[in-house]
Structure 1
Amino acid sequence: MITSNYDWKMAVSKLDDQQINELAQTLHHSPLLIKILAQRGMETANQIKDFLEPQGQHVHDPYLLYDMEKAIDRIQQAIIENQKIFIYGDYDADGITSTAVMYETLLQLGADVQYFVPDRFKDGYGPNLAEYQNLEAQGMQLLITVDNGVSGYDEVQYLMEKGIDVIITDHHELPEKLPPAYAIVHPMHPKGNYPFKGLAGVGVAFKVACALLDDIPQEELDLVAIGTVADVMSLTDENRDLVSFGIEELKTTMRPGLSALLEVTKTKPDEIDSDTIGFTIAPRLNSLGRLENATQGVKLLTTLDESEAAQLAQHTHDLNQRRQDLVATITKEAEQILKQTEQSHLVNVIAGQNWHEGVLGIVASRITEETKRPTIVLTLTEDDLYKGSGRSVEGFNLFDAFDSHRKLFESFGGHAQACGLSIKPDNLAGFQVIADQEAENQHFNGNERPVLEINEELPAASISLDLINELNLLAPFGCDNPRPVFKITGIQNPQLKVMGDQGQHFRINFQSGHGSLAGVKFNASPTEVHQLQADPLDGVEIAGELTVNRWQGRTTPQIQICDLKTEAENEISSKVKVIDHRFTSSPNKFNSEFVYGFFNLKLLKRVAAQVAPNIKLISLTDQMPIVGDTLVIVDCPPSISAFESLVDRLQVKQIVLKCYTQHNIASKPLPSRQDFGKLYRFTSTHHDIDLRKDLEKLANYLNFDKESLVFMIQVFSEAKFVKIKNGLLTGTPSNQRIELTRTKRYQARVAEIQAQQLFLNSKTADLLKRLNLTI
């Protein structure tokens, strides 16, 4: 049996089949294309046409960015007075392209300008006081940061006090206290009202270029596309237009460096798309900053010397191969360390030695993908510190988890899904404890599989190049605009072929009824490959994206596999017998022959402290198989999908359902929009509310029950409508429109209510029928 890595869910839209067909006729597109667009929130002919035919209508006036006019005046003054300008960049693809855009623009205007790209290992990310002082010694009179700067309060203050103006152009998360820069150009500036918040660092640099030139510099759009896609920014609104135009510019680029890089990677210009950026160009630019110095990347993009361009392109290509080899080696070693860990944790903290620090983020990403758990990978450095990177999964915010524990680290920074840190060896064990505790605090249990949204079931026989060409009208694909995913049906006679020098890729060839097709997956986990080799493929179901395969002059349809499962996965639960003891009190007698499972780790710890050592208690949030004769499920699952995922891992003869809960919220209605509005109006005008003392008083004042108020505050905290520090709550009004029902905390509450309604309120027969169980 092949089990899926994801929980497959069909995408939904507000339009019914008749409305979809009417729009398809009006717009002369297939109902399938219209259905996918409707699933993504486009429900009118104008919205769909606007999306499919980007004409620059979303490219906003650069002067709508806060401080733009002030920044432009200061830069123009520096050019007129021939002041020495330095651009301070960053070492990833977004930072490299940002530096190149700003540098070329200022050169075009006749500025006395140089650029500096920090070294990942010597300087670290963002502003560095020692390097600022070095640039000061070189006569710098104006500093312009690109793709960084907002985190450097002290460093910026130092230069400003020295009489050296600093203009920050950045897009990263804003700190509570902004640096005292001359100007801060940022799409999310708290005093600004820019229509689109999702610009990449290169996007912000490009807006400055537009304002300086009083025009849109078409020749810079190829760099904008590279930086935006590489930084995984939302490909909607303004970014969709900029990247669409940038890809067309990239196909005919006049940059010797890019032309040489495309040539050395055997990329045909007419085949360039967002995947070319994401899988060919960006990894190579990033390899420079990961293994050497990213200054070479700026040279590659800006040089006019074809000989230098060819040398830099070949070196960049070779360095990327070395990066791939390092990642493969370190990933194997890190996985071995993880297997030897005595206890399973909610967050993987893996520490090694002699690992290349520059690739640890990629290693963490690989292990996160395989284990479906947040992963921190660290290496012991020469200065006796563990340094490394973390990657996360949906449901666990790395930045929120560790931001309040900064005293534990020597350095820490990042965002929800990725972070970088350094820590002393003595603090490593405590770090693991804190990581697991923070996972509990965020209600992350590691038990629920991530959701894979399926756009439509699609018969294999209907897959054609014409269909793929129509779906490509949705491009460029990327963040917030992914390729559609289909559940492929009608798969006949599937055959497995493992590929790659390390067996890391595989292909499934099959018959579709109208010919042969293939599904491929690159960089699959060893576990997935081994399972495919061990289990029959009969009845396999494929979820995947439709792409094309170009080989030896032939172009054929191909499925890029996202996930697999066999029909047997859906039948496993019928083998498990159930005893329904849900309506008894919480367990106070324990049988040493049973296994007692808990979804709530706090309840597990509390019970463990009270029962005899020979009573077997386990966490149901681990992804390990559960073996035994009888499993007693002590508490109510946090969601129905958490229970369904558990059943897939059962190797027991029977389960006993007790499903105890301390807080029954199934009968409580969710707070209404009006309730949230009432709380928002109150918090936006109040500061330093002591939740430890005044929570009940506040609940009575607003006429909410205490438990509902706590939930609403948690939702507001995630949406950043309130800030809680040392137990004191302060409102932080926002001019951004945030749909509270889409916050993780709100959705977790909905899932918890649904689970309690099923497990606590339903009759035995209804429960078993819903879960495909037998009694």
Structure 2
Amino acid sequence: MIKSKYRWDMPKADESESAKLAEKLGIDRLTAAVLAERGRASRELAEAFLVADESGLLDPFAMKDMKAAADRISRAVADGEFIRVYGDYDADGVTSTALMTRLLAKLGARYDYYIPHRSREGYGLNVGAIDSAAEAGVKLIVTVDNGISAVQQIAHAASLGIDVVVTDHHEPPETLPEAVALVNPKQKDCPYPFKGLCGAGVVFKLAHAMFGGPVPEFADLAAIGTIADLMPLEGENRIIAKLGLELMRREPVPGIAALAKVSGAKAEELSSGRIAFSLAPRLNAGGRLEHAGIAVKLLLAEEAEEAEEIAAELDRLNVERQELVERTTAEADAMWRAASAFPDGRPRKAIVLAKEGWNAGIAGLVASKLVERYYMPAIVLAWDETTGMCKGSARSIEGFDLFAALTACVDLMDHFGGHQAAAGMTLEAAKVEALGERLHGLAEERISEEDWQPKRRVDLKASIREATLAAIDGLSKLEPFGNGNPTPRVAILGAVAKESRTMGKEGKHLRVTFEQDGRTIEAVAFGMGEERVRLAEGVRYDLLGELNVNEWNGNRKVQMMLKDYRSDHLFVHDRRASGQSWTSAVDQLLAREGIAVGSNAADDSRTAGGEASFALLCATDEAYREAQERYGAHGVPIGLCADVSEPIEGMAGEIAATGEERQGSVRKCRHVALVGLPDDERGKAVLRRWLMSSPDLESATVLAFGESSVSSAPASSSEPGEFPERKHFAEIYSLCRTKVSWLDSPDGFLRESALNTGWPLATVRMMHDVFIELGFIAANGASRKFVANAPKRDLDQSARYRKARDGAAVEPAARGLSALSPEALKGWLEVCHASANR
């Protein structure tokens, strides 16, 4: 079995609801299925989602303190007071800052803006910046994307005669600052129905309030902030993103046009994906490496020439940022591998790393990469040895509320802020170890067993036949895609790999053609070049991915962006007749797993997660003893196919365990080498139980130990076990009647029948041959069709049946596995293992 990387959360919506919705709205089944799966099965909800225009924007005055904020800013404008916009250094912060300055400019205010330096000042309001504002004659500070937790700083501003209006969207603390107005929809007593706005989204609503209606020309920056800050693209955010993308494609301001150009995109083709992966990283680069003011300057630029110069500088900084992230991630990964367990051997359940010399500006990016690699909460901190302080960022996994967990660690930190999935913090270096231990305990307590495997929600199941250009055009109506409204994930079940080839530099990527019911689709798998051997031709897979259109030389063709896959297939490699010694073969197999026989590493067969990926299963005590002597010191799990309760003569300690205990240690391995095959019933029973209890197994390599006798007899006459009775033929006949028609393929209906009944593949094929001979199945080349109302005929009337039955009588049921033909042995191993995955 090839396990999927992710836990697939399959669709739960009623298919009849999807069909009704498709008919009512005149849309295709796939689009309707996605809407229904995402809770929009009614006509009203579906239409509201599809339309998503200005009419769906909410009353801004429903937000707590919105009127107070609008009144105070209006008074400052009327009285000519000097206003300072106090922003943040990430993409949401700079778009919020630029948007607020646009608003103040349109109101005719006296203003400037200020963004703190990430590494020197850190996030949010600080006393030094407030003192500077007082010296400059500022009478009103308007925060954007920060301020909700600045209790002491806002009190200090008040003492200097400066009023503060807070516009923010981060989680409010228990104690709130005493500002003139706190505009944040996440406040407990705020009645505003939509809580998912970003900082720029809150400013967009403030503009709505101050001008008495929506301000569409402000939607571009609000859309960038919404997408860049990973806000859910539903409700008002969907409307803002849709309006903003339409505006940017139609009339981009110079800064956005220049940023798109330097990113290799055309403004008229901007999408939520382009914003997230191309524009946002460049807007962030200034604040990460130098100062975020350069990004604000770009967004406010009025001339194309100036904008292009600034965009080029941001692009240069982004390249530098990418290189720095790569180096820091490698250092962090090495640190984690060395410290992933407590001194007593217990694995840590949360990553907390700090190092002098790291850049705090990229800590969140490095933490994200560690989460992606190890799938556990991660904190990455830059340690300043001169001050003894650490600043950094945290990222979480689904099912673990990071903000709540950090709140439980508040006594260890000087400052922190964020939300469920991401946060930033400052703390003393001396408290880093304690934070790691505290976070480990919280993760162990609050993360369920299933949440340790990443989950991917599947929106719909579809066949290759349904994956058409028209269907993809229909799905595009659900754009813009992003957090909260991801690109629809499609599961195609039971597709057979036909051909594959690697692509790109060093063959890092893969292109595979899959077939289902005579239709094919090409799948592109980025970063999966090394997995070509697992996506083998002729094997049946379940696929998870996203459908899109590949356009080349004016031709449009459907393709799937493959994200994950799985298969019940067991790869069996029978090398008994190779003439190679079993130890030489095992040495080669271990080398493929990165295990060098003769090295000093005692656990080099282990994966990063601590589990072995390769194991040996021996048929005899002699093979077991030799395997232990040669490979035991390398941490390779070694099992024995024997139900013995006495220790092996001459062996002691851990080796002197029962056969059941020995074979149990290798159950979670992906690859196993069978050193010899058991010929006695007890040994076969142990092997069968092991195969049935090893769902993670992908491949089994059969090696000869001692004398090998590989049978060349036809598979149908060499299968172990009893010959099927008439009731078993009736069971297969019933499956054929239900299927009606199919293609004769070993990985198709034949295998499905074998898995459903437990009979070896070759035996099922023999039964089909009997039915063909009796006229119960019509055969035309590879096509098979059940013949309804066929004349009744007895099985004995089939020569194929009589020959197979008589041959089975000659072959004793207890025949040893070592004498089986490669095909028969493969069938036996596959059927036993398939039982583990039913």
Is this a same-fold pair by TM over 0.5?
yes
Aligned length: 601
Q: CA deviation at 1:216?
A: 2.0
Distance 1:656 1:152, change over 3 A: farther
Please state if 1:398 is matched with 2:385: no
Structure 2 equivalent of residue 330 of structure 1 = 328
State the alpha-carbon separation in 1 of the partners of residues 640 and 421 from structure 2. Answer: 38
* Structure 1 partner of 2:148: 150
Distance 1:511 1:620 in 2: 30
3-state SS of paired residue (1:543): strand
| Paired AA for residue 370 in structure 2 | I
The answer to which of 382-391 and 65-74 deviates more is 382-391
Q: 1:442 to 1:517 in 2, by over 3 A?
A: same
Please report how far the alpha carbon of residue 142 of structure 1 lies from its aligned counterpart in structure 2 after TM superposition: 0.5
The equivalent residue for 2:352 is: 349
Task: Specify the alignment match of 1:28 in structure 2.
Answer: 26
- Note if contact 1:508-1:519 (Cα within 8 Å) is conserved in structure 2: yes
Q: TM-score, normalised by structure 2?
A: 0.66
Alignment of 1:236-385 (within 5 A): 236-341=234-339, 343=341, 344-383=347-386, 384-385=388-389
Give the whole-Å Cα distance in 1 for the aligned partners of 2:406 and 2:264.
Answer: 43
Q: CA deviation at 1:423?
A: 4.0
Distance 1:150 1:508 in 2: 49
- C-alpha distance in 2 between matches for 1:22 and 1:393: 36
The aligned amino acid for 1:241 is: I
What is the CA-CA distance between 1:309 and the residue it aligns to?
0.5
Which residue of structure 2 aligns with residue 499 of structure 1? 504
Verify the 8 A CA contact 2:510 2:529 in the aligned structure 1: no
Equivalent in 165, 178, 181 of residue 180 of structure 1: 178
Give me the whole-angstrom Cα distance separating, in 1, the residues matched to 2:316 and 2:468: 36
Distance 1:2 1:203, change over 3 A: same
Identity value in percent: 34
Is residue 2:480 matched to residue 1:482? no
Amino acid at match of 2:162: I
The CA deviation at 1:628 is: 5.5
**Contact 1:90-1:148 at 8 Å conserved across structures:** yes
| Distance apart, 1:312 and its partner CA | 0.7
- Contact 1:509 1:516 (8 Å CA) reproduced: no
Bigger mean CA deviation after superposition, 388-397 or 193-202: 388-397
Q: Check the 8 A contact 1:377/1:388 in 2, yes or no.
A: yes
Provide the rounded CA distance (Å) in 1 between the counterparts of 2:296 and 2:199.
Answer: 15
3-state SS of 2:19 partner: helix
Please say if residues 691 and 833 of structure 2, whose CA atoms lie closer than 8 Å, have aligned partners that are also in contact.
no
Letter of the structure 2 residue corresponding to residue 340 of structure 1: A
Aligned-residue offset at 1:376? 2.1
Match of 2:111, SS?
A: strand
Give the residue type in structure 2 aligned to 1:412: F
Which SS does the other structure have where 1:250 is aligned? helix
Equivalent AA in structure 2 for residue 624 of structure 1: E
**Displacement after TM superposition at 1:512 (Å):** 4.1
TM-score normalised by the chain length of structure 1: 0.71
1:418 aligns with 2:422: yes
* Contact 2:62 2:192 (C-alpha < 8 Å) held by counterparts: yes
> Where do 5+ consecutive residues of structure 2 fail to align?
342-346, 573-602, 614-636, 642-665, 673-685, 693-831
The alignment partner of 1:29 has SS state of coil
Cα deviation digits, residues 80-125 of structure 1 (max 9, x gap): 1110000001111111111111101111111001011111111111
Q: How far off its partner does 1:648 sit?
A: 7.1
Q: Evaluate the alpha carbon distance shift between residue 553 and residue 319 of structure 1 in structure 2; reply closer, same or farther with a 3 A threshold.
A: farther
CA, structure 1 residues 108+182, in 2 after alignment: closer, same or farther (shift >3 Å)?
same
1:470 positional shift: 0.6
Q: Which segment drifts farther, 361-370 or 172-181? A: 361-370
Is the deviation greater in 290-299 or in 186-195? 186-195
Letter in 2 for 1:236: E
Unmatched tracts of structure 1, length 5 or more: 572-615, 632-644, 658-768
CA distance in 2, matches of 1:310, 1:628: 63
Q: What does the per-residue CA deviation read over 1:390-425, in whole Å, with 9 as the maximum and x for residues that have no partner?
A: 211112222222322233234433322222234444
- Judge which range, 330-339 or 233-242, deviates more: 330-339
Partner of 1:519: 523
What residue is the counterpart of 1:624 in the other structure? 611
Give CA deviations for 1:518-551 in whole Å, capped at 9, x if unaligned.
Answer: 43344x4xxx654556774643432101123445
Q: Secondary structure at the match of 1:519?
A: strand
Q: Deviations over 1:488-543 (max 9, x none)?
A: 34343241425357x7x523231547787443344x4xxx6545567746434321
**Secondary structure at the residue paired with 1:296?**
helix
Matches within 5 A, 1:519-668: 519-522=523-526, 524=527, 530-532=530-532, 536=536, 538-550=539-551, 555-568=556-569, 624-625=611-612, 627=637, 629=639
Contact 1:67 1:184 in 2 (8 A): yes
2:5 aligned partner, one-letter code: N
Secondary structure at the aligned position of 2:367 is classed as: helix
Tell me if structure 1 keeps the 8 A contact 2:184–2:202. Answer: yes
Aligned to 2:116: 118
Shift, 1:646, TM fit: 8.8
SS at the partner of 1:57? Answer: helix
- Match status 1:433 vs 2:437: yes
Q: Which moved more, 1:103-112 or 1:447-456?
A: 447-456
Change (3 A) 1:92 1:447: closer
Cα deviation per residue 1:419-455 (whole Å; 9 max; x = unaligned)? 2234444333333322221112214458741222222
Q: Which shows bigger deviation, 438-447 or 133-142?
A: 438-447
1:204 Cα shift? Answer: 0.7
Please say if residues 346 and 446 of structure 1, whose CA atoms lie closer than 8 Å, have aligned partners that are also in contact.
no
- Aligned position for 2:392: 388
- Per the alignment, do residues 332 and 224 of structure 1 end up closer, same or farther by CA in structure 2, a change over 3 Å counting? same
Distance 2:558 2:304 in 1: 37
Deviations 1:550-581 (A, max 9, x none): 4566544332222123333799xxxxxxxxxx
Aligned twin of 2:10: 10
Q: Secondary structure at the match of 2:210?
A: helix
CA contact (8 A) 2:667 2:690 kept: no
State the Cα RMSD in Å: 3.5
Q: Distance in 1 between matches of 2:355 and 2:557?
A: 44
